[in-house]
Amino acid sequence: MTERVVGIGAGAKELATEDMILNIGPQHPSTHGVLRLRLTLDGERIATAEPIIGYMHRGAEKLFEVRDYRQVIMLANRHDWLAGFANELGVVLAAERLLGMEVPVRAVWARTLLAELNRVLSHLMFLGSYPLELGAITPVFYAFDERERIQAVMEEISGGRMHFMFNRVGGLKEDLPYGWLDRVTEAVAVTRRKVPDIENLILNNEIFLARTRGVGVLDQEKILQYGVSGPVARASGIDFDLRRDQPYLAYPELPVKVVTRSAGDCHSRFEVLFDQLKVSLDLADACVDKLRSLPPGPINQRLPKVLKVPEGHTYAWTENPLGINGYYLVSKGDKTPWRLKLRSASYSNIQVLREVLPGHLVADMIAILGSMFFVVGDIDK
C-alpha cells in the first residue's frame, strides 16, 4: 500500500500514515439482513468499498430442482421477505408459459391487485426504516400503522402476513372473500389520506435534506453496467418499468405512471419511493373497480394431481418492489424444474456500492446503504 506523508502543525516532524481497513458487520441492520462491508479508509473518507455477501445463503436455486412446482412457490416467496406475493408470481408465470395455460380473467386482475398491495407494503417498510437509520424514529410508527392496515386485507385473503402462498399455477388458491373488495377500498383510501403525514414529517426536514441531498450520487452509466433496476435506477433518470414497457398480468389495460428523478442521490431515491407508493395505491383502486365489474367465474384452472411442465425453457421477469426479478426456467418434462435460475433485484443494487461509496465520509455510508433499498435474502438466495 502506498504511504502518504503529511505534516501536522507548523514545523512538525512529518509522519508516514497508512489506510485503515474497517469491517462494517456482519450484523443485522434493521430489515435488510446479514451483510458485511469491507471499507478502506483514508482518515474518515472511504477509499474503497467491498460488499461481502453469502452469510444468509440457503442454496435456494438447488432446492428448486428437487421440489415440485407447488413446493417451489413456497421457497420462492422467501428470498425477498418483503415481497412474497411478487416472488411467487414469476414462478407461476414461467410455468404457465411453458404449459401454454390461459389463466382466468378474474385471477389475472386479482393477481395484479395483490401485487400492487404487496408493493405498497414493501415501500412503506423502507419509507419508515430509512429515516430510522438516519436517526429519525417517528416516521417508522406512521409507516407501520399504514402497513398494518394493508397487511390486514392481505392476511384476510391469504392467511399469511409475509409468506402469502396464494399463487398457484393456473391462478390463485381460492376466490376473494365476500366483502373483501370493500375492505381493500377502505384500506387504500385511508392509507392515501395518511401518506402525506409521513411525507410532511420527513421529506423536507432540514436534517434529512442535509444527510441525503447530493449524497451517494449514482450515474446512469454505472446503473447500466451493474444492472441496477427499480426505484434506485429511476431516481437517476432511467425511465424503465416492466409494468409499462413489457406488460404482464393486467398491466396493459392500466395507466402505469413511471416516476423518475434526475439527481440520482439518496434524496431522489426516497422521493421516487414515495411517488411509487401513490401510483400503486391508484393502480389498486383501478383493479378493484375492474374486479367489481367482472361477472362471477373461476379463479384458477383445474390441475392434475401431479403437475408436469413440458420440456422447454423460458424467462419470466416481473417488476418487483425493489426492481427487476427474473426466473429462467428449464424443464425436462418432469414434475420438478431441471433448472430454475433466479435473477434478483437486490443483487445488482448492492454490488454498485463499490462504485458509490468511495469518496464519501463514513458518516454518509449508512445514508447511502439504506437508500439502495435491498433485502439480503434477495442477494444470497
**Per-residue pLDDT tens over the stretch 249-258:** 999 999 999 9
pLDDT score of 56? 80
By the 10 Å C-beta count (0-12 exposed, 13-18 middle, 19+ buried), 193 is classed as exposed
Task: Report the distance separating Cα 97 and Cα 169, nearest Å.
Answer: 10
Average pLDDT over residues 255-264: 94
Range with the poorest average pLDDT among 12-26, 29-43, 186-200, 270-284: 12-26
CA neighbor of 76 nearest in space, from 358, 337, 368: 337
Average pLDDT over residues 257-269: 95
- Which pLDDT band, with edges at 50, 70 and 90, does 7 fall under? very low
Q: Residue 345 above 90 pLDDT?
A: yes
Task: Report the distance separating Cα 197 and Cα 221, nearest Å.
Answer: 35
pLDDT score of 105? 96
pLDDT score of 15? 54
Map residue 226 onto helix, strand or coil.
Answer: helix
Question: Which residues are CB-neighbours of 80 under 8 A, at least 6 positions away?
Answer: 86, 87, 122, 320, 321, 322, 325, 344, 345, 346, 375, 377, 378
Range with the poorest average pLDDT among 41-50, 177-186, 237-246: 41-50
Average pLDDT over residues 275-287: 96
Task: Report the distance separating Cα 65 and Cα 225, nearest Å.
Answer: 30
Average pLDDT over residues 145-168: 93
Q: Residue 31 above 60 pLDDT?
A: no
Q: Residue 355 above 70 pLDDT?
A: yes
pLDDT score of 44? 87
> Cell digits for 10?
507548523
What would the pLDDT profile of 292-340 be if each residue is shown by its tens digit?
999 999 999 999 989 999 999 999 999 999 999 999 999 999 999 999 9
Question: Which residues are CB-neighbours of 156 under 8 A, at least 6 positions away?
Answer: 177, 180, 183
Range with the poorest average pLDDT among 16-20, 218-222, 313-317: 16-20
- The alpha carbon of residue 45 and the mean position of all alpha carbons in its chain are separated, in whole angstroms, by 29
> Cell digits for 40?
478502506
Task: Report the distance separating Cα 318 and Cα 119, nearest Å.
Answer: 12
Contact 321, 242 (CB under 8 A): no
> Cell digits for 244?
409499462
Share of the chain above pLDDT 70, in %: 94
Q: Residue 98 above 80 pLDDT?
A: yes
What is Dmax (Cα atoms) for the chain?
A: 88
Backbone angles phi, psi at 72, to 5 degrees: -60, -40
Give me the domains of the chain, ranges plus CATH numbers.
4-50 (no CATH), 60-380 (1.10.645.10)
Task: Report the distance separating Cα 70 and Cα 186, nearest Å.
Answer: 33
pLDDT score of 221? 94
Averaged pLDDT score across all residues of the chain: 90
Q: Residue 25 above 80 pLDDT?
A: no
pLDDT score of 18? 73
